[in-house]
Amino acid sequence: MTSNFLTLQDLVLAARERLGKDVWDFVTFGTESETTIRRNRRALDSLAWLPRILRDVSKVDPSTTLLGEPLRMPVLLSPIGSIARLDPEGALATARAVGAFGTLQFLSSHAEDEIAAIRTGAPLPLIYALHPYDDPAALDDEIDRVKVGGYRAISVATQSGYYSRRERDLMNGFVGKVDPLRSYADLLRREHATGGVAELRPVRLSWAMLDRIRARSGMKLVLKGVLTAADARLAVEHGVDVVYVSNNGGRSIDHARAAIVTLPDIVAAVAGRAEVIVDGGFVRGSDVLKAIALGARAVCMGRMQAWALAASGEAGVRRMLEILEEEIVVTMGHIGVNRLDELSPDYVAEAEPCVTPHPLSAFPVVMERLFGLHQ
């Protein structure tokens, strides 16, 4: 199943047409001043290529592996909790597209209804993205369900016990008025409207909790939300297999550093003892390759996935992956590499960004059509 979209910009425009303003704003924007979102984009736009010439690039191959799993290209799909708001088939549509294409998807534990649907089907290319809560019995029960669910690995989300203030959602009446003293889980339950979150007290996360998840699951472990070298070192000491650099795309902490700016420090701190992946602002093939040049194994995408799913369900996500692959192959050809392991920081240099950063600023036609902005 595929579709006729020619560009990523067509997918974004189709998503805007299909989504109501409240869901569009919820997906596209983020917390308070939205500085983190803009930093993510500005930092990616501040890297320019140092291409090499006169090389034979007739055999470009963008494939790689993560946790030993083959990936057709270094792009995975980030966890999205409220995925059913974007397409009736939600995570199941995405999982089918990802499986047909040949990469992996993080499945948010806040996509509970989809999880039930997925369990009844064939094994799918999923990493379970767990949002832990501090009821040990309920947590153990969830881990045990994940163990038998055919997942390739378990990923632990680390955003704080406080729900962030996404002011557009508040102003649109999309979530109830946020009271930080109410529990995060309770608010998530309202946000995702799927039930299934058993614990209503604020979530107290800890490294001991991570150890418990690792020991009980016996599965490969991904830690999402690492933003400092100090925490990356701790993650490795606690046996994490994949350090997932993420500021949640500016949906939790405002005024974080850009993910791609944080990446080199974390790659250095991990020093090859775990694989490093990253998300936050990546929407283009060339964005992906910049992270690979700076030491990431692969890149995850949240919003781009959401827009593609909203645009055309399973076919939209499949088409998004195909277009991204084409962008990656073409860029590899232009910069003179045949394989991802040929990339290094020598291929990128600091440069002045050319556009005002915005979640959609990598898409000039979208900016023109939606906002009348000729950047």
Ligand X SMILES: Cc1cc2nc3c(=O)[nH]c(=O)nc-3n(C[C@H](O)[C@H](O)[C@H](O)COP(=O)(O)O)c2cc1C
* Contact residues: ligand X, CB under 6 A: 27, 40, 78-82, 108, 110, 129, 157, 224, 246, 248-249, 251, 279-282, 301-303, 306
222 vs 340, beta carbon nearer ligand X: 222
Cα–Cα distance for residue pair 35/358, rounded to 1 Å:
9
Q: State the Cα–Cα distance between residues 103 and 63, nearest whole angstrom.
A: 10
Distance CA 85, CA 149 (A): 24
User: By C-beta, is 60 or 355 nearer to ligand X?
Assistant: 355
CB of 50 to ligand X, least distance (A): 25
Closest contact distance (angstroms) between CB of 101 and ligand X is 18
By C-beta, is 186 or 342 nearer to ligand X?
A: 186
- Judged by CB, which is closer to ligand X: 282, or 337? 282
Nearest residue to ligand X, using CB?
Answer: 302
CB of 62 to ligand X, least distance (A): 19
What does the alpha-carbon distance between residue 273 and residue 205 come to, in Å, rounded to a whole number? 24
Q: Which is nearer to ligand X, 78 or 217 (CB)?
A: 78
Structure tokens at 91: 């995570």
Minimum distance, C-beta of residue 79 to ligand X, in the bound complex (Å): 4
Minimum distance, C-beta of residue 83 to ligand X, in the bound complex (Å): 7
Angle at 174 between CA 171 and CA 179, to 5 degrees: 75
| Nearest residue (CB) to ligand X, 184 versus 282 | 282
Smaller CB separation from ligand X, 226 or 337? 226
Q: How far is the CB of 34 from ligand X (least distance, A)?
A: 11
Q: Decide whether 3 or 159 has the Cβ nearer to ligand X.
A: 159
Q: Distance (Å, rounded) from C-alpha 224 to C-alpha 174? A: 26
Nearest CB to ligand X, comparing residues 13 and 291 = 291
Q: How many angstroms from the chain centroid is the CA of residue 164?
A: 18
Which residues touch 357 (CB under 8 Å, ≥6 apart)?
37, 38, 39, 40, 41, 42, 45
Q: 45 with 252: CB under 8 angstroms?
A: no
Residue 67 C-beta: closest distance to ligand X, Å: 18
Distance, in Å, from the CA atom of 307 to the CA atom of 166, rounded to the nearest integer, reads 19
CB 44 to ligand X: min, Å: 10
Instruction: Say how far apart CA 125 and CA 105 lie, in whole Å.
Output: 6
* Closest approach of ligand X to the CB of residue 206, in Å: 18
